[in-house]
Chains A and B, each alone.
Chain A
Amino acid sequence: MAQNGEGSRGFGLGILKGFALTAVHLFRRRFTILYPEKRLPVPRRIRGTELVWYVDRCTGCATCAKTCHQGVIKIVTSGPEGNRFHVDKFEVDTGYCIFCGLCVEACPFDAIFMSTEYERGKYRREDLVMSKEMLMAADKHPSAYYHPQPVPGVALPEKVPSIEETW
Chain B
Amino acid sequence: MAIKTEPFVVNVGPQHPSTHGVFRMRMVMDGETIVDMEPVFGYLHRGVEKIGETRTYTGCIPLTDRMDYLSAPANNLAYVMAVEKLAGVKAPERAQYIRVIMGELARLASHSMAVGSFLNDLGAMATPLVYMWREREKILDLLEMTCGQRLTSNYMRVGGVSQDLPEEFTPAVKKFVVEMPRFIDEYDQLIKDNEIVLARTKGVGVLSKEMAVSIGASGPVLRGSGVKWDIRKSDPYAVYDRMQFDIPTGTAGDCYDRYRVRVEEMRQSVRILEQALAQLPQGEVRAKVPQRLRPPAGAAYGHIEGPKGELGFYVVSDGSVAPYRFHIRAPSLINLSALREMVIGWKIADAIVTFGSIDICLGEVDR
Question: Which A residues are closer than 8 A to B by beta carbons?
Answer: 1-4, 6, 11-15, 17-18, 21-22, 25, 31, 43-47, 63, 67, 69, 98-102, 105-106, 114, 143, 145-146, 160-164, 166-167
Contact = CB atoms under 8 A, between A and B. Distances in A.
Contacts of B197: 14
A159 B203 CA distance: 51
B142 A163 contact: yes
A4 B144 CA distance: 44
Contacts of B131: 25
Interface string B329-352: 000000000000000000100100
Given A31-B134, A100-B62, A163-B175, A1 B194 contact: no
Closest 3 CB pairs of A and B: A14-B193, A2-B203, A69-B59
A167 B138 CA distance: 9
26 contacts: A1-B199, A1-B200, A2-B203, A2-B204, A3-B199, A4-B198, A4-B203, A14-B198, A15-B194, A15-B195, A17-B189, A17-B190, A21-B189, A43-B145, A45-B145, A45-B147, A46-B144, A63-B291, A67-B56, A69-B55, A105-B162, A106-B291, A160-B168, A162-B145, A162-B168, A162-B171
A38 B58 CA distance: 37
Contact of A146 (B127, B163, B172, B193): B163
- Residue from the set A2, A4, A31 with the largest chain B CB neighbour count within 10 Å: A2
B137 interface: yes
Interface in B15-72: 55-56, 58-59, 61-62
- Residue from the set B55, B202, B204 with the largest chain A CB neighbour count within 10 Å: B202
Contact of B190 (A18, A67, A99, A166): A18
Nearest to A14: B193
Q: Give the interface SS of chain B, mostly helix, strand, loop or mixed.
A: helix
A46 to B, nearest CB: 5
Contacts of A166: 141
B204 A45 contact: no
A160 B145 contact: yes
Contacts of A11: 195
B59 A146 contact: no
Interface in B166-198: 166, 168, 171-172, 175-176, 186, 189-190, 192-198
Interface of B: 55-56, 58-59, 61-62, 127, 131, 134, 137-138, 141-142, 144-149, 152, 154, 162-163, 166, 168, 171-172, 175-176, 186, 189-190, 192-200, 202-204, 291, 347, 350
Contact of B149 (A4, A14, A46, A163): A46
Contacts of B198: 4, 6, 14
A14 B162 CA distance: 46
Contacts of A98: 62, 152
Contacts of A12: 195
Nearest to B52: A69
Given A15-B194, A145-B148, A163 B204 contact: no
Nearest to A9: B193
Contacts of A162: 141, 145, 168, 171-172, 175
Contacts of B59: 67, 69, 102
Contacts of A114: 148
Nearest to B201: A2
A102 B58 contact: yes
Nearest to B63: A69
Contacts of B127: 22
Contact of B152 (A15, A100, A163, A167): A100
A160 B192 CA distance: 38
A124 B138 CA distance: 35
Given A100-B152, A160-B145, A4 B202 contact: yes
A98 B55 CA distance: 15
B313 to A, nearest CB: 17
A7 B59 CA distance: 58
Contact of A15 (B138, B196, B200, B347): B196
Contacts of A3: 199
A114 B127 CA distance: 36
Given A31-B134, A45-B148, A163-B172, A14 B194 contact: yes
A45 B152 contact: no
A32 B340 CA distance: 40
Nearest to B54: A69
Contacts of A163: 138, 141-142, 172, 175-176
Contacts of A15: 194-196
A143 B347 contact: no
B193 A31 contact: no
A164 B141 CA distance: 10
Given A18-B190, A67-B291, A167-B138, 12 more contacts: A1-B199, A1-B347, A14-B192, A21-B189, A45-B146, A47-B147, A67-B56, A101-B162, A146-B162, A160-B168, A163-B142, A164-B172
